[in-house]
Structure 1
Amino acid sequence: PRTSFLLRRLGRLAISLIVVVLASFLLMHLVPGDPVRAVLGPDATPELVASTRAELGLDTPVTQQFVDYIGGLLRGDFGLSIQTQRPVSEIIAQRFPATITLGAGAFVVAMIGALPIGIAAAVSSRTGRHRARDITVSSFLGVLIAIPNFLLAVGLIALFAVQLGWLPAAGWGSVHEAVLPVLTLSLGPMAYLARIVQVEMVAVLGMTYMTTARSKRLPARLFYLRHALPNIVTATLTVGGLVLSGLTAGTVLIETVFAIPGMGRSLVSAVSAKDYPVVQGAVIVYALIVLGVNLIVDLILITIDPRSSITEG
């Protein structure tokens, strides 16, 4: 079952990747405007524009360009940037570490914060002794989930960088410079995961076997960590995988706001300049990250609970 499950997942990953490659190629070529003219400027001579277009392979039909692009991808060649004439793979390799560090850091912070907050909220709401506090916590989590990242970024910059002067407002390369971007990217997912943990924990605490475990008068730490927490792992991992995928895509906005030299910032710049190869290369890498994360989460889930390979469609 595990082998067939893995083969099905790999097949879906391949199909999804093919769709992403095709969609990114077609969408970029449907954008109006001439990328060569955008790079060379309005004063470039027609001869220079024509020679540059021929050099980049943009003077051939779109179908031929697509065939050439696919052939390059199969060789690991993402093409050359229209703006800088540098290999796209080189640009991605240079920008990738900042993006993956930002996304992974935000995910770790979100998970570390969500578990204790969710468990504490579940225990409190189940006892019903602190209703006002429960409403306050739920409302605060709801606000964090709903608030847009760019607005949260502005608020954090205004408070911690402008008013208090504790942290830099932009930049990348030190722990201090990473705090605000990571917080901005992680607070919303942390609140969302905390709500999921809370709902799952409340359901688990109501189970008969949990009542039996509680009757043994185990220490609270042992009761929650050994008996309750393992029973919410599946749901938390499932949602956590989706959150991590969203965090990776969310780095595009955060990198732009905080001037982080990552793939997201390069992607925004490339879209503005109609730099087809950079946009397509960045989109493919983002898709690989998202699809890879989902595959890893599925493999972890099937290892923890083999029944998931049976119920999976």
Structure 2
Amino acid sequence: MTTATVAQGRAWDSPWLSFAARRLGRFLVSLWVLVTAAFLMIHLVPGDPVRASLGMNAPPEQVEARREALGLNDPLLTQYWDYVKGIFSGDLGTSMMSNQPVSQVISDRLPATLELALLAFLLVLVVAIPLGVTMAVLTRGGRRRGAELGFTATSVLLAAIPEFLVAVLLAYVFAVTLGWFPVAGNTEPGAAVLPVVALAIGPAAVLARIVRVEMLAVLGNDYIRTARAKRLPPFAVYVRHALPNALTATLTLGGLLLTGLVAGTLLVENVFAWPGLGSAIVGSILDRDYPMVQGIVLVYGIGVLLVNLVVDVLLAVLDPRSTIREA
């Protein structure tokens, strides 16, 4: 066996390469399932989706013309192949209501949705991580039972309230009653404040609890007690030594929260008339605009898959022993 062959065999045995192959395989399988589910959506609707979208009084000629334009008269496998080819070429079909390309509508509205989701995610991190660390430090070793009980009860309550109810309350108090922020739209200064806060309150409460629990576990380790015995400054003990070791679970949950924030925009955008994908998909469902619904669901699903993939990679970088070498 030559040296080159041995080196090639070692490369294929690399844990990083094995990890990349597993994650890529899972991503591709999940993507295929998502694409197939989005394609079948229009075929699983009871009755004729074209007739449902055009109305029961639409002339048969108009219904037939629309079915032909959508390719619904072709064999199912042909429709599936055309749908997959259209996705890779950026063609997601045409809206039944506006006759605009679905991809164009999505490209116009996606930035507004991403703006809300990313700003809310940053707000969650900025609030939850310092709050969780502070509460862990204050309540370690069974100290300050009252503060612990108040923090836990408040975080559970905030996490249990749906985003759209928080959005309605914020809109009524701070937009309608006090007039501090715009009621709807995204054209005025400060228009994003209330939607972002409505999205971030619940996830911030959940993440703060997780950070506190993880920090309490880390603060009980021997190396933290050793750092305290060396009389290191509190910043060095809690931020430099303890916090990085508590971020693994936080990062995992953070990825889930980000995908949840994107999904949460569906209703929050409608409360504030925010011109994003959330308001578009709700309107499309009400109008039975199935190509539009298909396209938006596909975009949301791909976003979730990409976030999960990025989180897996970050976890592997932070903790290679438990992630890269998993069975």
Q: Same fold (TM over 0.5)?
A: yes
Structure 1 residues 107 and 230: alpha-carbon distance in aligned structure 2, compared to 1, 3 A threshold: same
1:99 aligns with 2:113: yes
How many residue pairs get aligned? The number is 313
Which residue of the other structure, out of 64, 75, 83, is the alignment partner of 2:89? 75
Matches within 5 A, 1:88-237: 88-237=102-251
1:273 aligns with 2:273: no
What is the CA distance between 1:49 and its match in structure 2? 2.4
Match of 2:39 in 1: 25
Question: After alignment, is 45-54 or 31-40 more displaced?
Answer: 31-40
What is the CA distance between 1:98 and its match in structure 2? 0.7
Which residue of the other structure, out of 47, 62, 66, is the alignment partner of 2:80? 66
Structure 1 residues 195 and 270: alpha-carbon distance in aligned structure 2, compared to 1, 3 A threshold: same
Q: Distance in 2 between matches of 1:48 and 1:236?
A: 54
| Off by >6 Å, runs of 4+ in structure 1 | none
Task: Tell whether the 8 Å contact from 1:122 to 1:201 is kept in structure 2 after alignment.
Answer: yes
Q: 2:97 corresponds to which letter in structure 1?
A: Q
Structure 1 residues 173 and 221: alpha-carbon distance in aligned structure 2, compared to 1, 3 A threshold: farther
Q: Distance in 2 between matches of 1:4 and 1:276?
A: 40
What is the CA distance between 1:151 and its match in structure 2? 1.5
Q: Distance in 1 between matches of 2:246 and 2:154?
A: 23
Match of 1:12 in 2: 26
Match of 2:300 in 1: 286
What is the CA distance between 1:202 and its match in structure 2? 0.5
Cα root mean square deviation, aligned = 1.8
Task: Tell whether the 8 Å contact from 1:302 to 1:309 is kept in structure 2 after alignment.
Answer: yes
| DSSP-derived class of the 1:176 partner | coil
Q: 1:64 corresponds to which letter in structure 2?
A: T
Q: Distance in 2 between matches of 1:271 and 1:33?
A: 16
- Cα deviations by residue, 1:13-41 (Å, 9 ceiling, x for unpaired): 11111111212222332223544344544
Match of 1:2 in 2: 16
| DSSP-derived class of the 1:250 partner | helix
Q: Distance in 1 between matches of 2:83 and 2:21?
A: 27
Which residue of the other structure, out of 261, 264, 273, is the alignment partner of 2:275? 261
Which blocks of at least 5 consecutive residues in structure 2 are unaligned? Answer: 1-14
TM-score by length of 2: 0.90
- Cα deviations by residue, 1:251-299 (Å, 9 ceiling, x for unpaired): 1111122111111211112222222221111111111111111111111
Task: Tell whether the 8 Å contact from 2:139 to 2:147 is kept in structure 1 after alignment.
Answer: no
Task: Tell whether the 8 Å contact from 2:158 to 2:202 is kept in structure 1 after alignment.
Answer: yes
| DSSP-derived class of the 1:232 partner | helix
| DSSP-derived class of the 2:199 partner | helix
Question: After alignment, is 50-59 or 31-40 more displaced?
Answer: 31-40
Q: Distance in 2 between matches of 1:253 and 1:237?
A: 26
Q: Distance in 2 between matches of 1:308 and 1:242?
A: 19
Q: Distance in 1 between matches of 2:217 and 2:152?
A: 17
- Cα deviations by residue, 1:154-200 (Å, 9 ceiling, x for unpaired): 22122212232212222124451101111111111101100000000
Which blocks of at least 5 consecutive residues in structure 1 are unaligned? Answer: none
Q: 1:288 corresponds to which letter in structure 2?
A: I
Q: 1:119 corresponds to which letter in structure 2?
A: V
Task: Tell whether the 8 Å contact from 1:102 to 1:181 is kept in structure 2 after alignment.
Answer: yes
Match of 1:244 in 2: 258
TM-score by length of 1: 0.93
Task: Tell whether the 8 Å contact from 1:124 to 1:130 is kept in structure 2 after alignment.
Answer: yes
| DSSP-derived class of the 1:77 partner | coil
Task: Tell whether the 8 Å contact from 1:145 to 1:188 is kept in structure 2 after alignment.
Answer: yes
Task: Tell whether the 8 Å contact from 1:38 to 1:273 is kept in structure 2 after alignment.
Answer: no
| DSSP-derived class of the 2:320 partner | coil
